[in-house]
Amino acid sequence: MFASLIQFLPVMKGREFKDAMYDGLSKLLKALANPYRLEIIEMLSQGEKSVEGIVQTTSLSFANASQHLQVLKNNNILKSRKVSHYVYYSIVNNDFLAMYQHIVKFSVTEIAELEKIMNRQRDDNKALNSVSLDELETMIRDKNVLLMDVRPATEYEFGHITGAVSVPMNDLLCCLKDFSKEKEIVAYCRGPFCVLADEAVKILTENGFKIRRLDEGYPEWKMKQLEAN
Amino acid sequence: MFASLIQFLPVMKGREFKDAMYDGLSKLLKALANPYRLEIIEMLSQGEKSVEGIVQTTSLSFANASQHLQVLKNNNILKSRKVSHYVYYSIVNNDFLAMYQHIVKFSVTEIAELEKIMNRQRDDNKALNSVSLDELETMIRDKNVLLMDVRPATEYEFGHITGAVSVPMNDLLCCLKDFSKEKEIVAYCRGPFCVLADEAVKILTENGFKIRRLDEGYPEWKMKQLEAN
DNA sequence: CAATTATTCAATAAATTTATTGAATAATTG
DNA sequence: CAATTATTCAATAAATTTATTGAATAATTG
């Protein structure tokens, strides 16, 4: 048929794009498809870390961590900067983070096993009378809340919820006298499954403060900010 | 320190969740991270297909296609139903499709190589004076457009843009007399890189009709509908 | 400038993924 | 019910990914 001859060029062009598309896409997905690399991404969504920093909080060896980091960097998921003989890695941009959170959100609701653990966690948080991001917003607007970032100081410095004060868990006990027992306190940390805020709630409640935890963490807040624009 | 003992249980629980999370997530991503499987997903986003249907439009052997389909099914990306001795596979649900399109959108803008081909394609479409989804909406509201779905009939039957008529490319030439040369026609197909609509525009323009193509396709329209809710 | 430190590199073995081959299964047709 | 058809299964070889090992590099410190 003549038609198929006429069609030949544009079809080839479509085919060429498709192949480039599927290859490129699968390379990106392959880079993501490893539990350790996902853990690294999760860590770096709190801020930049040196290779040493990553080795400390994962079970990876230096050489292995370095390899995984390079896979992520070569696929444009991470970027790095060198300061003296430390190399600091961080997430390449917010677009990646938005896509990553989209994948996580889907997985958590679709993978039955994860949904179960997730719901258990949510119930626990509810029992602790946690505050949602929306509630927090009204509380901040009404100015009757002290917002406490209980992550390590470096993570606070890299980025934090507007208006929060940095009170790393290590400093918590020695700073007790600085806080009012009248004003409501909200503590937040790395995300819904991070236990730092839970501990802060426990310790401060025992000492007679009015404190609750945020049910989400810094990365979720950041994404919400980005979506609002 | 006492603190680390107290902390032990909740930390373990967080760890347990995290590991389940990273494992589950990386399994899902591994299932996606293959060019052929991505091509299959792309095909099935137009509607269900039998194994034979997939073999015909890819370069895969039966056994190999079947294997890839099972990987996708076991990871809750596809579902299947059996009709006589044909097995029809389809995308498991719209949530997956939304996530998949999110990944594609990110990749296309972030992978330099893809962006280049993408822009070339976009320019070509613009040269053809293509219609956007928003423009189409106004045209439909004003009722002065004939919307033409030029994909195979089975894909139209599985789902199509509201108000479209099915005119598969094979039937196009014999149906010419059924259409008015006064009314504007918009043709659409599988997506921005599908060439079916381009051909329809070419053929009908040569025959004196007023026709343009939609710059997107059925899956993009469907997602837009879902997001609107 | 020798010693130290953080990171990367290169080689390798083990584990996993992939395509191919030929046989098996399960439903349908003559 | 034997033959046909669409799909799946099981085994295998090749390709890719991963963790480990020990050495190399590049910056800093005493």
CB atoms within 10 A of CB B74: 11
Taking phi first (over 0 means left), then psi (-120 to 50 degrees means alpha), and beta for anything else, what does residue B163 get? left
Residue B96 CA to D14 C1' — how many Å?
Answer: 33
Compare CB distances from A34 to B6, B26, B109 and report the shortest one's residue. B26
Residue B98 CA to D15 C1' — how many Å?
Answer: 33
CB < 8 Å to A42, chain B: 18, 22
Residue A148 has pLDDT above 50, yes or no: yes
Distance between CA atoms of B67 and A15, rounded to whole angstroms?
A: 23
Residue A3 has pLDDT above 50, yes or no: no
Mark which residues 198-217 of A lie under 8 Å from B by CB: 198-199
Compare CB distances from B102 to A39, A99, A111 and report the shortest one's residue. A99
Residue B38 has pLDDT above 80, yes or no: yes
Type of residue numbered A217: G
Residue A2 has pLDDT above 50, yes or no: no
Specify the pLDDT at position A128.
73
**Average pLDDT for residues B42-59, to the nearest whole number?**
93
Residue B178 has pLDDT above 60, yes or no: yes
Query: In this structure, what token pair is assigned to residue B93?
Result: 């649900």
Strand order in the sheet with A211-213: A165-166, A146-149, A185-188, A211-213
CB < 8 Å to B74, chain A: none
Specify the pLDDT at position A7.
41
Interface test with B, best of A106, A116, A174, A202 (most B CBs within 10 A): A106
Taking phi first (over 0 means left), then psi (-120 to 50 degrees means alpha), and beta for anything else, what does residue A86 get? beta
> Is residue A51 within 8 Å of residue A65, measured between CB atoms?
yes
Residue A127 has pLDDT above 80, yes or no: no
Residue B221 has pLDDT above 60, yes or no: yes
**Average pLDDT for residues B132-138, to the nearest whole number?**
92
For A74-89, what is each residue's pLDDT tens digit? 999 999 999 988 999 9
Specify the pLDDT at position A18.
80
**Rounded to a whole number, what is the distance in Å from the CA of A142 to chain B's nearest CA?**
31
Mark which residues 21-80 of B lie under 8 Å from A by CB: 21-26, 28-30, 32-39, 42, 76
For B19-30, what is each residue's pLDDT tens digit? 888 999 999 999
Contact B103 A99 (CB under 8 A): yes
CA B176 to chain centre: 28
**Average pLDDT for residues B56-62, to the nearest whole number?**
92
**Average pLDDT for residues A159-163, to the nearest whole number?**
94
**Average pLDDT for residues A192-204, to the nearest whole number?**
88
**Average pLDDT for residues A158-166, to the nearest whole number?**
94
Contact B33 A29 (CB under 8 A): yes
Residue pointed to by tokens 């394609």: B121
Residue B85 CA to C27 C1' — how many Å?
Answer: 5
Q: What percent of chain B has pLDDT over 70?
A: 92
Cβ contact B141 with chain D strand, < 7 A? no
**Average pLDDT for residues A156-182, to the nearest whole number?**
90
Contact A193 B108 (CB under 8 A): no
Q: What is the 3 state secondary structure string of chain B? A: CHHHHHHHHHHHHHHHHHHHHHHHHHHHHHHHCCHHHHHHHHHHCCCCEEHHHHHHHCCCCHHHHHHHHHHHHHCCCEEEEEECCEEEEEECCHHHHHHHHHHHHHHHHHCHHHHHHHHHHHHHHHHCCCECHHHHHHHHHCCCCEEEECCCHHHHHHCCCCCCEECCHHHHHHHHHHCCCCCCEEEECCCCCCCHHHHHHHHHHHCCCCEEEECCCHHHHHHHHHHHC
- Residue B7: pLDDT band (50, 70, 90) is very low
Specify the pLDDT at position A12.
52
Specify the pLDDT at position B50.
95
How long a stretch of residues is chain B?
A: 229
CA distances from B193 to A9, A14, A228, B222 (A): 13, 6, 31, 17
Specify the pLDDT at position A8.
43
**Average pLDDT for residues A130-145, to the nearest whole number?**
90
Contact B76 A111 (CB under 8 A): yes
Nucleotides of D under 7 A from a protein CB: 5-10, 17-23, 26-29
For B78-122, what is each residue's pLDDT tens digit? 999 999 889 999 999 999 999 999 999 899 888 777 777 777 777
The mean pLDDT value of chain A amounts to 87
Specify the pLDDT at position B9.
44
Please indicate whether residue B126 or residue A74 has the higher confidence score (pLDDT): A74
Cβ contact B52 with chain D strand, < 7 A? yes
Which of A15-29, A101-115, B45-59 has the highest mean predicted lDDT (pLDDT)?
Answer: B45-59
**CA dihedral for B95, B62, B31, B117, sign (positive or negative):** negative
Q: List Cβ neighbours of B86 (8 Å cut-off, separation of 6 or more).
A: B50, B51, B52
Q: Locate all alpha helices (DSSP H) within A35-93, ordered by sequence.
A: 35-44, 51-57, 62-74
Distance between CA atoms of A29 and A8, rounded to whole angstroms?
A: 31
**Average pLDDT for residues A165-183, to the nearest whole number?**
89
